Structure 1
């Protein structure tokens, strides 16, 4: 494995690695006919369904086609969110491994393509490209963990503001205004609280303050975020 990673870093820059071995290209790679072609099973889930319960043995890997998923710990802590083109279950390639988190559907519906983990392991360890794709996936996972740890160290207002920026940029809906995005309806205020480890009252107070500053704009059952203004606010505060 180390030799393959060293060779990859010699041949490619970090930027080109992320581009050439992206998640969507990994999905295409799995289905290629020339080397170990894999056939996944497409499945639909409804809101609140549990894809993988916490602690359950799982030998399947899921590629999200559409919809949103929350990873939770102990039934109350939201660790992360997953959306289109993201992968669930690839972090641990050991067979019969226990899931560290529960994965629950938070959108109205979710479509995934499900693969047998053993088949993916075979293709990953027997092809050079497979190593590269798994390496990029693990790098992304580490980056997300570091980002989350840094977020949790911030004071309440900055923590919530950064969470809105991260989640809005990742999951939000584009509008006619390039600076304004629709915050994902599937992520409630309660989930923001669980994600940031803050109580609902704190979330409500900070959102009210951001509304007064014209950084967020309420709408029916949702709100919009001015990403440009939010970035300026965070930049000014975090540099102090």
Structure 2
């Protein structure tokens, strides 16, 4: 019998949220594990593993980009995790984070400690399952979007970033300034020239506007 038949997916997302998982990992009363609070400055890179161990990072403050090898695949902010689903990668599949906000505050845990702790909790595996079902659609959608029309692809990714990290500005949502054109073009996998040209076309269609070069995205009506 599958998990989907045993549990309601929305209930899993609610009852086994990543925010609750972080609280559990920080709680030393039951099965204490190693942890370290770290602060990374803008542009610093941190890796999910080294020669000694593999790590899981929980973001407490700030925003980081996520790379698999040299490929920019995601952006994560407060309350999100990096590295909970990977271990034993090669150089081409090695996960890393790079700080794009002024700083990022993280909790670093040892990968096997995290797995051991959640497996010692009743139905704790559902925290890991919840993480997996949240992370893989992001990577899958990014791959599928590569075959889309350029304007559709650019607007779709701008919409995702605005919805997750932006600030409301009337019917638009303003994308923070640290999402530079270079960063966006790397993420969307288009040249900076193509990105700029496409943004101009989207502006003509009134789907985006520029506010002192900051990109503002028109969001769908709720």
TM tier relative to shorter chain: 0.7 to 0.9
Alignment counterpart, residue 112 of structure 1, candidates 84, 100, 106: 106
Deviates further, 219-228 or 105-114: 219-228
- State the shift of 1:70 in Å: 1.2
Alignment counterpart, residue 141 of structure 2, candidates 135, 144, 147: 147
RMSD: 2.4
Distance in 1 (alpha carbons) for counterparts of 2:4 and 2:30: 24
- State the shift of 1:35 in Å: 2.5
Contact 1:43–1:113 (CA<8 Å) still a contact in 2?
Answer: yes
- State the shift of 1:101 in Å: 2.9
- Where is the helix percentage greater, Structure 1 or Structure 2? 1
SS in 2 for 1:30: helix
Asked whether 1:182 is paired with 2:177, we answer: no
Q: After superposition, where does 1:130-141 map in structure 2 within 5 Å?
A: 130-141=124-135
Contact 2:73–2:139 (CA<8 Å) still a contact in 1?
Answer: no
- State the shift of 1:166 in Å: 1.2
Contact 1:31–1:39 (CA<8 Å) still a contact in 2?
Answer: no
Alignment counterpart, residue 17 of structure 2, candidates 6, 15, 22: 22
Alignment counterpart, residue 196 of structure 1, candidates 188, 194, 198: 188
> Any gaps of 5 or more consecutive residues in structure 2?
none
Distance in 2 (alpha carbons) for counterparts of 1:82 and 1:21: 19
- State the shift of 1:194 in Å: 1.3
Residue of structure 1 equivalent to 2:8: 13
Contact 1:68–1:186 (CA<8 Å) still a contact in 2?
Answer: no
- State the shift of 1:106 in Å: 1.1
SS in 2 for 1:128: coil
1:38–1:109 Cα change, 3 Å: same
SS in 2 for 1:138: helix
1:158–1:40 Cα change, 3 Å: same
Contact 2:34–2:113 (CA<8 Å) still a contact in 1?
Answer: no
- State the shift of 1:56 in Å: 4.3
TM-score relative to the length of structure 2: 0.87
- State the shift of 1:62 in Å: 0.8
SS in 2 for 1:37: coil
Contact 2:34–2:110 (CA<8 Å) still a contact in 1?
Answer: no
1:134–1:154 Cα change, 3 Å: same
1:93-129 per-residue CA deviation (whole Å, 9 max, x = no partner) reads x5x6556233211111111111222321211222233
Contact 1:61–1:114 (CA<8 Å) still a contact in 2?
Answer: yes
Residue of structure 1 equivalent to 2:83: 89
Deviates further, 30-39 or 40-49: 30-39
